Amino acid sequence: MVLHGFGENLYYGLISTITFHLVDMSKSLEDTQDDSSFLEELHKKWMDHSNAMQIICDIFMYMDRTFVPSTHKSPVPQLGLTLWRDKSLKISYGPSL
């Protein structure tokens, strides 16, 4: 897709997909009853996200090497961390974090 000029669509589609997944995941975190199970669930979600992002980084490696630097966008690994911070934790605990 990047070779055919659809790098921007691919990049923003990736952001949208990861964001949707993280917002959905954070809703299940909000349902956690106590602090201990919240931390266990948060750890599990973080590990799942980290594993998924590793696979996503491998798949989008070409886009990361070509499209991302030329457009001054965040690399895919950084994007995964930023979206995790902004979408999962702030939704779970509110904007005060």
pLDDT tens-digit readout, 29-44 = 887 767 778 889 899 9
Closest CA relative to residue 76, chosen from 95, 96, 54, 44: 54
Closest CA relative to residue 78, chosen from 9, 32, 2, 11: 11
Secondary structure letter of residue 86 according to DSSP = I
Q: Which CATH superfamily is domain 7-92 in?
A: Cullin Repeats (1.20.1310.10)
- pTM of the complete model beyond 0.85: no
Q: What is the mean pLDDT of residues 60-74?
A: 94
The sign of the dihedral angle between the CA atoms of 76, 78, 45, 19 is negative
b (16+ CB within 10 A) / e for 48-72: ebeeebeebeeebeebbeebbeeee
